[in-house]
Each structure stands twice: as C-alpha cells, then as structure tokens.
Amino acid sequence: MIAISAPSGGGKTTVIQRLMERQDRPFVYSLSMTTRTKRNVESPGKDYIFVSEDEFKDHISKGDLIEYEKVHGHYYGTPKAPIEKWVKKGKLVLFDIDVRGALSIKQAYPRASLLIFLKPPNLEALRERLAGRKTETREQIQQRLDRVELEMEHSEQFDYQIINDDLEQTVETILQIISSHYRSA
C-alpha cells in the first residue's frame, strides 16, 4: 500500500496518473469515496465514488471503510473490500489521500504501508496550481491553503518527503523509493 499525500494542488493526482501509466509494475488505484460534488472534469467510478452524506455515514457504521476523514467540509474515505482483495493478489495499491487518511492506513497496516508526502516548491506555486485548475472559488482555494500548515506538520510522520517541483523527477524518485522499499520488505 503506497499512500501519496500532498496539500491540495500539490500534484498527487498527476503523479499517481503517471505511476499508473507504468506497465512494468502491478499498480492499482484505490478509488476513494466522497460526499463532495463532482467537478466537471471528473467521472463517477473513475475519479471517485460519489455518494450522499447519508450513504457515506452508512458505510462508516457498517465498517466498510479502511479510513475516512472530513476534509474541506466533505467526507472522504477508502472502501475496504477492494484493497484487501488487491493486497492478497500482490498488487501495489496507490492511494491519493490526505495526510490524516494516510496516517490511519499506516496505523492499520504498519508493515504493509509506505507513506510518501509531496511538498510544493513554495506556497505561491501551490496557490497558482489551485487557481489554474479553475475548479474552486477564491474562498475554497483559501480554505485549502489554510490547511497547508497542518499538512506540512503531519508530513514529518511520513516515510519519505519529496519536493514536487519537477514532475518527471518526482515520478522517478517515487519509483526508486518503491523499488527499494519492496525489495527490502
């Protein structure tokens, strides 16, 4: 289990997409469940499992989630069943996940998880990335930026921290980390 976290706009989704393009590794992508509204560029069942808050809470009460968190006013969580199936098959499960969710995975699966945090080169680069997405209001962008300090503090508990200022270099570094980690495990 490879949990990749970053502040919003930190590049985790793009990095994971690049990793998934690699055919030489048994990567699978953990699809998160959320109560957030679908963005125009997203597809249900491909980017997220979109559910109502009541449905999400039902999954919590049934114990169907490995982890969940309320972030930016919406619930996000990881369905348990597909993860357990993939791990048994020897797949490398990639998680695009917030810092608290990643730490919950590490707590639940300490020997099977690898946590990688992507640091932005600086706050201005992060602000530009968020604005460039054109998917959030100015207030929503500020809400995401207000969380950066908390995320950076939690990043100290991750196995690796990488400054994501060059996408190709970041992907190559992560591939090296994964190879080293699973060779020694």
Helix, strand, coil fractions of the chain, as percent rounded to 5 = 45, 20, 30
Local confidence band at 184 (pLDDT 50, 70, 90 cut-offs)? low
- DSSP letters, 123-144, are HHHHHHHHHHHT-S-HHHHHHH
Using DSSP, state whether 111 is helix, strand or coil: coil
Q: Which pLDDT does position 126 carry in this prediction?
A: 66
More confident residue, 183 or 178: 178
User: What separation in angstroms does the CA of 178 have from each of 9, 26, 27, 147, 171?
Assistant: 23, 12, 11, 28, 11
Please compute the mean of the pLDDT values over residues 117-137 and round it to a whole number.
74
Phi, psi of 103 (to 5 degrees): -65, -30
Domains annotated on the chain, with CATH: 2-184 (3.40.50.300)
Q: Supply the pTM of this predicted model.
A: 0.82
Q: Round to whole Å and give the CA distance between 88 and 86.
A: 5
Token pair recorded at residue 8: 């919003």
Mean pLDDT over the full length of the chain: 88
* pLDDT of 185 strictly over 60: no
For 13, other C-beta atoms within 10 Å of its C-beta total 13
Please compute the mean of the pLDDT values over residues 136-160 and round it to a whole number.
80
